[in-house]
Amino acid sequence: AGIKYIIIDVPPRADSQTVAGVFASMEKNGISAVIGPMFGGQLKYFAAESSRYKIPVITPAPSSIKGAKGVSPYVFGYGMTLGQEIAAEMRYAGYLNLKSVSVIYPRNGYGSKLLSYINFYSKKYGVKVMGATAYAGKTVDFFDNFNSIVKFTNIGKGGVSKAEESQLGITPYNLMNGITEAKPLIPFGGLFVIGNPSKLELILTQLAYYNISGFPIFGPSSLDSGHFMEKYGFYMQGAIFPDGYFKHDTNKTVTDFNAAYKGNYGEMPNILSAEGYDIGGIMIKAAGKINSTGYADGPGGVFYKALLLVKSYKGVCGISKLSGNRFKKQLYLFKYKHYTVYILQSPFGS
């Protein structure tokens, strides 16, 4: 069909002038579409230029398309979003009939955004947010955060008498190590734990240290890491987390892709590889629809119309459906138990 596309991987700090120059060059070379960028912060520049030059952009950037909605219909999203992660987890919390959840989150823009999603989807699925506690960037001891959402047993100061040991079921050794058989009073049914991996490892280990357990922990997609599980699997028993791709899925679409990828690159694919593969498949499917769109709008305009005709696509990340300018799909939802990852929800359906 004479389609030309280009994969864009501009530096993270690329500014509007850089992106404008890239698009000007693409127009001269008759480029029909762009795959990229990888960084959500650059989407506003791509949105402006895609609208100006009428060249569609399909991005795997793992964030919402800020600046594109209502500004450029030419920017199509395929990557997993933070909102999708929280929606999948809160939907499952509702399925479990959890009456309430609490939240531990970082005091920054990322944490505030996720908290807003949690509040929104908790209302949608009938789950009450019972307490949310924010931590600063330098926090390494989370006792104060825990103390604001659970009630620790008042064990007094100093030594513990034999009578107290008998009544509470604890020993001075237990107290010294922070692990007591007298569990704190836990008023919520589930706990959302938000943060980067270095914070997650501290929070999870300290939850166990203070014997705050007995409920599902909902975490971000970064928990889907073999390295993290290998080091901290003991502390994440029962943890629930989403992701957009699962290389260990036995679905034939996934296993065929894994075999082909490993045969070519000598390693297993990651989520960016999988999303890039799916985006390529979407573009091939769109190219096959160009005959029904006409050629009067230039390479980019023609391909844009063809993309709108791709109503659904089954790729290695699951089944997606075009809604507005985003290819929406269900995420995987996992549960980690007994050092094994179980699939609770698949983007390929049941």
Helix (H, G, I), strand (E, B) or coil at 201: helix
| Half-sphere exposure (Cβ direction) of 224: Cα atoms closer than 13 Å | 22
245-282 exposure pattern, b = at least 16 Cβ within 10 A, e = fewer: bbbebeeeebeebbeebeeeeeeebebebbbbbbbeeb
Q: Which residues contact 313 (CB under 8 A, 6 or more apart)?
A: 278, 281, 282, 285, 319, 320, 327
Helices (H) and strands (E) in the chain, counts: 12, 14
- Nearest one of 50, 54, 24 to 36, comparing CA atoms: 50
pLDDT for position 70: 47
pLDDT for position 294: 56
Please state, in angstroms and as integers, the Cα–Cα distance from residue 141 to each residue in 145, 157, 192, 202, following that order: 9, 20, 18, 8
Tokens of 16: 């509007």
pLDDT for position 42: 80
With beta carbons less than 8 A apart as the criterion, state whether 129 and 122 touch: yes
The count of residues in the chain is: 350
pLDDT for position 69: 46
pLDDT for position 163: 65
Which residue stretches of the chain have pLDDT < 70?
1-2, 62-71, 154-182, 292-297, 350
pLDDT for position 67: 44
Strands 100-106 and 128-135: parallel
pLDDT digits (tens, 9 = 90+) for 166-191: 655 555 545 445 545 567 899 999 99
* DSSP-assigned letter for residue 349: -
Q: In angstroms, rounded to a whole number, what is the distance separating the alpha carbons of residues 322 and 56?
A: 14
Please state, in angstroms and as integers, the Cα–Cα distance from residue 285 to each residue in 39, 43, 278, 280, following that order: 25, 24, 10, 9
pLDDT for position 68: 42
* DSSP-assigned letter for residue 216: P
pLDDT digits (tens, 9 = 90+) for 294-306: 555 678 888 999 9
pLDDT for position 38: 74
